[in-house]
């Protein structure tokens, strides 16, 4: 399936010179959404994962149906201030500044195997922060899975040593 044809490009968003890759056009297409879900589930099923980590917010869209297909639970990694209980915290660099991710301290148990899902790999900051949170919990990241990878921004280099997969590269 030509997933690039299902992704809308928005010029100069969120700032001049940036091409925003909008996945809302992909997820509204049932065949494209099913293709992405099935491809991710097929890829992760042999990793013997215990749980799926989904990154705020568009990672929720892709990791949740994979977790359902594989009969696994999900753990949301959220931006600061969104979780109601004790949480691990990690600051990370964005393309446009700094932010903070959180994950409940009781969400993942030591020794668990975890697959991580997000919509986009750019600089690798959010994915690396998620890996750091998983490590804080004493668990292992089996793979990092993205719909889109912006190869020129070097995110894969930041994630060296991890099993990184993306469906579409720009």
pLDDT for 50 equals 98
> For residue 53, which of 89, 92, 99, 107 has the smallest C-alpha distance?
107
Q: What is the pTM of this model?
A: 0.95
**CB crowding 68-97: b at 16 or more within 10 Å, else e:** eebebebbbbbeeeebeeebbebebeeeee
Q: What is the arithmetic mean of pLDDT over 9-16?
A: 95
What tens digit of pLDDT does each residue of 91-125 get?
Answer: 987 766 789 999 999 999 999 999 999 999 999 99
Of 42, 63, 56, the residue nearest 115 (C-alpha): 63
Q: What is the pLDDT of residues 71-83, one digit of tens each?
A: 999 999 999 999 9
* CA–CA separation, 4 and 11 (whole Å): 15
Domain boundaries, the chain: 49-169
pLDDT attached to residue 98: 87
One of 3.90.45.10, 3.40.50.2020, 3.30.300.30, 3.40.50.970 is the CATH number of 49-169, namely 3.40.50.2020
State residue 10's pLDDT score: 98
Mean of the per-residue pLDDT values of the chain: 96
Cis peptide before 57 (omega within 30 of 0): yes
Residue 25: pLDDT over 80: yes
Rounded to an integer, what distance in angstroms lies between the CA atom of residue 25 and that of residue 33? 10
Angle at 35 (CA atoms; ends 78, 131), nearest 5 degrees: 30
Q: Is 99 exposed, middle or buried (0-12, 13-18, 19+ CB in 10 A)?
A: middle
Does a cis peptide bond (omega within 30 degrees of 0) precede residue 14? yes
């Amino acid at each position: 399936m030509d997933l690039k044809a299902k992704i809308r490009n928005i010029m100069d968003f969120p700032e001049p010179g940036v091409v925003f890759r909008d996945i809302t056009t992909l997820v509204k297409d049932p065949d494209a959404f099913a293709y992405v879900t099935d491809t991710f589930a097929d890829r992760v099923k042999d990793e013997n994962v215990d749980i799926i980590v989904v990154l705020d917010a568009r990672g929720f869209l892709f990791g949740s149906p994979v977790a359902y297909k594989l009969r696994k639970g999900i753990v949301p990694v959220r931006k600061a201030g969104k979780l109601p209980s004790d949480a691990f915290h990690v600051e990370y660099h964005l393309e446009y500044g700094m932010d903070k991710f959180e994950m409940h301290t009781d969400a993942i148990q030591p020794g668990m195997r975890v697959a991580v899902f997000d919509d986009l790999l750019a600089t690798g900051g959010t994915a690396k922060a998620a890996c750091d949170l998983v490590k804080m919990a004493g668990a292992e990241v089996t793979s990092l899975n993205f719909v889109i990878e912006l190869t020129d921004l070097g995110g894969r280099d930041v994630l060296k040593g991890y099993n990184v997969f993306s469906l579409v590269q720009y």
